[in-house]
Amino acid sequence: MAGVKTDSGTITYREAVAEGIAREMRRDPTVICLGEDIGPAGGVFKTTAGLFEEFGPQRIWDTPISEQAIVGAAMGAAMTGIRPVAEIMFSDFLACCWDYLANEIPKVRYMTGGQVTVPLVIRTANGGGLGFGAQHSQAVENWALAIPGLKIVAPSTPADVIGLMASAIRSDDPVVFFEHKGLFASKGPRPPEGHHVELGRAAVVREGTDVTLLALASTVHTALAAADRLAEDGISAEVVDLRCLIPMDLTTVLASVAKTSRLVTVEENPYQAGWGATVVSVVVDEGFHLLDAPVRRVASANVPLPFADALENEVMPTADKVVAAVRSVANF
């Protein structure tokens, strides 16, 4: 085994995770990874494949099943000169170490009056659509959004995985990095060495004039599929990939709404307390005059995620649902 592959051309989202980490580990010897089965096994999703071979056991650490110890130790290390990249295997398990994400990591800088910083990344496989059932399928980016003091990243393409991973690892602030399980097999161009995407810059991934579709990670693809279908009806949808929840790029969102006058959010997290609600509340405050129609949110239903494919599809956002939502506001 030759470590992380670095040949050019295309790369999968899955490979991009390992590649993004490897690029930073080559740059900075203080970058250290820890997590369950991330070493010789290369991770349950193979998102750390090759790292152990390239960097060895002093930089890639297999841990016990101890989410609190993983994230708590990462925090202690981050306070003392290391840049840990901690993996929480499935994002649902963030609940097992939530105290660290909610009460410790994001608060210690503030409550010590700036005495300590916590430059760490918590990576985790997020999202549904794979039939993993209620405890292994959630999109929980909105949990993180509830906590001031965390930066939140959720890339939709392999290039963004690499570019945002660079920024996340170099950031002196704690970053929660959501890798979408449903995108691991997806492919895209491999970005050049040094590729880097600033945190808090949304991307207009498709231009349009009639409605803004605001999306994140998996739902960027849902929104793009919907936009294709809408184009057939003569509706021109602009698709904005938010990329990060914090910093939240409301400038780009408001600019898009200024152009389209209509907004539909496409979220995988449940409707209740989803991130789209926060965006909408800002738009209806600061951009009220821009809006010509009701704002709709296409999000997961407010139920746990069911196992069966057909049921899961029923409760998750789909292009069909986005198309229907857009049509319902297009006539205003």
Of the candidates 15, 36, 136, 238, the residue annotated as catalytic is 136
Is 67 noted as a catalytic residue in this protein? Answer: yes
* Nearest approach, Cβ of residue 189 and a second copy (Å): 33
Specify burial of residue 131 (Cβ count, 10 A radius: 0-12, 13-18, 19+): middle
The Cα-based distances of 280 to 155, 192, 284 in angstroms read 21, 36, 6
CB atoms within 10 A of CB 168: 30
Q: Which residues bind ligand TPP (CB under 6 A)?
A: 36, 65, 67, 89, 93, 96
User: How far is the CA of 325 from the CAs of 227, 235, 264, 288, in angstroms?
Assistant: 12, 12, 7, 20
Q: Does 285 bind a second copy (CB under 8 A)?
A: yes
Active-site residue flag, 195? no
Burial class of residue 285 in the structure, from the number of CB atoms within 10 Å of its CB (0-12 exposed, 13-18 middle, 19+ buried): exposed
What does DSSP assign to residue 159?
H
Secondary structure class of 33 (helix, strand, coil)? strand
Rounded Cα–Cα distance for residues 306 and 250 (Å): 33
Out of 35, 158, 306, 317, name the contact with a second copy by CB under 8 A.
Answer: 306
Residue 100 sits in the site that holds other proteins (CB under 8 A): yes
Among 71, 175, 197, 226, binds other proteins (CB under 8 A): 71
In the complex, least distance from residue 78 CB atom to other proteins, rounded to whole angstroms: 8
Residue number with CB closer to other proteins (15 or 249): 249
Nearer to ligand TPP, 36 or 267 (CB): 36
65 binds a second copy (CB under 8 A): no
3-state secondary structure of 87: strand
How crowded is the C-beta side of 193, counted as CA atoms within 13 Å?
7
230-269 footprint of other proteins as x/- string (CB under 8 A): ----------------xxxxxxx-----------------
Q: What's the rounded Cα separation, in Å, for the pair 3 and 234?
A: 49
| Residue 135 binds a second copy (CB under 8 A) | yes
Residue 324 binding other proteins, by CB under 8 A? no
Backbone angles phi, psi at 117, to 5 degrees: -120, 160
Amino acid at 196: H
Establish if 272 lies at the interface with a second copy (CB under 8 A). yes
Identity of the residue numbered 271: Y
Three-state SS at 206: strand
Select from other proteins, ligand TPP, a second copy, none the partner in contact with residue 255, using the beta carbon and a kind-dependent cut-off of 5 to 8 Å. Answer: none
* Structure-token pair, residue 148: 């001031």
In the list ligand TPP, a second copy, other proteins, none, the entry touching 286 (Cβ below 5 to 8 angstroms by class) is: a second copy
301 binds other proteins (CB under 8 A): yes
Q: Which does 284 bind (CB under 5 to 8 A by kind): ligand TPP, a second copy, other proteins, none?
A: a second copy
**Residue nearer to ligand TPP on the CB measure, 25 or 70:** 70
Distance CA 37, CA 41 (A): 6
Residue 35 binds other proteins, judged by CB under 8 A = no
Residues in contact with a second copy by the rule CB under 8 A: 92-93, 95-96, 98-99, 101-103, 106-107, 110-111, 133-135, 140, 142-143, 145-146, 148-149, 246, 248, 269-278, 280-281, 284-286, 288-289, 291, 293-297, 301-304, 306-307
Catalytic residue numbers, as ranges:
67, 136
